[in-house]
Structure 1
Amino acid sequence: MKKIRYILCLPIVLLGFACGTESTQQTTATESAVPAGQSAVQDDVSNPNVVQVALGSADHSTLVAALQAASYVDALTNVGPFTVFAPTNSAFDALPAGTLDDLVKPENQRKLRDILEYHVLLGVYKPQDFVDGRKLGTADGRSVLVSVNAEGQVKINGAKILATVPASNGIIHVVDQVLIPQ
């Protein structure tokens, strides 16, 4: 009697395994088609993160291209919080001829990423947090120098802060120069 029950249950068990295997194969195929990383998350409802803000700014297309070339997009779409000094397109244009073209080459990805990390602070620094003579540590382990003139104009390593934009994972300070580590 027990043998008959086992024989009758065997097709049901095998069918269950077959369905489970097919489901796993479909999930694996679907997962491999989806890009990895935080930047792949689609969310049109929440406040934009620092990368999404840059993507939405026509004046930061060069910065976005540099972030992509350095594979630094996912890092800046994470939770943070970050303070990002975002050079404008004209700031990149002011670099010596050929500098940017050289930096976006695949063999210079690490060098480009070092420069981009020099534009990022861990934590949120609002305009009122900038004190003349203060050194702030950057994501690449170096530091930038804050200067504030008598009129309250803030500069980071000589680059003027032109505007400040909040983001869901930090704050962006638009600057008029590319910060180059010494």
Structure 2
Amino acid sequence: MKKLLYLPSLLLALTLWSCGGQASDSNTTAVGTSPGPGQSAVLDNVSNPNIVQVALGSSDHSTLVAALQAANYVDALTNVGPFTVFAPTNTAFDALPAGTLDDLVKPENQRKLRDILEYHVLLGVYKPGDFVNGRNLGTADGRSVSVTVAEDGNVTINGAKIIGTVSASNGIIHVVDQVLLPK
């Protein structure tokens, strides 16, 4: 009978010894330290690129990438998604009134810039064949954009012509020739 009384203590001691006597949680952050840099810091040159990686690899989208960084919106678009992004070219940004972009990338205008960038993002994947003339699509900022399909098949979003489409691991990118500005 005495042997049975010692059995729970023996099991507890063996369990602690086999675990090294300490419990550890690799998912906690030490007090006083900040969390890691986020999804955009993951280096992966093997998998299909995500939306941000595609934009980084395009010399025609360096202004968009700079705007994403200024708005602190890079991590959002590197997440799983799926997203549809209307990506204005550098030429589209150049067509904005003089000083507009310089003003938007100022730290005090970060929220305004982010709102404009979110206006270029749809939740879900919309392939070219999914665009229906007259359809309104809800954007990530809670507004909507309007689709126009011309007789020749060209698609515009709020007047911005889709000039190319690229798939990404977390969605699809439609290259557009204008910056979409919310009303």
> So what's the TM-score if we normalise by structure 2?
0.82
Higher helix share: 1
Partner of 1:64: 65
Work out whether 1:52 is the aligned partner of 2:53: yes
The alpha-carbon deviation at position 36 of structure 1 amounts to 1.7
Pairing 1:32-181 to 2, within 5 Å after superposition: 35-181=36-182
Partner of 1:5: none
- Quick one: distance in 2 between partners of 1:44 and 1:20? 35
Percent identity reads 80
- Quick one: distance in 1 between partners of 2:57 and 2:23? 43
- Quick one: distance in 2 between partners of 1:59 and 1:36? 26
- Quick one: distance in 1 between partners of 2:117 and 2:36? 23
Post-superposition Cα deviations, 1:68-113, rounded to whole Å, max 9, x if no partner, equal 0000000000000000000000000000000000000000000000
SS of residue in 2 equivalent to 1:146? strand
What's the C-alpha RMSD, in Å, of the aligned pairs? 2.2
In structure 1, the gaps of 5 or more residues are 1-12
SS of residue in 2 equivalent to 1:133? coil
Number of residue pairs matched by the alignment: 161
Post-superposition Cα deviations, 1:7-53, rounded to whole Å, max 9, x if no partner, equal xxxxxx9xx78x999xx9xx96xx86x84211011111100000000
- Quick one: distance in 2 between partners of 1:48 and 1:35? 21
- Quick one: distance in 1 between partners of 2:23 and 2:43? 29
In structure 2, the gaps of 5 or more residues are 1-16
SS of residue in 2 equivalent to 1:144? strand
- Quick one: distance in 2 between partners of 1:109 and 1:138? 18
Pairing 1:11-50 to 2, within 5 Å after superposition: 35-50=36-51
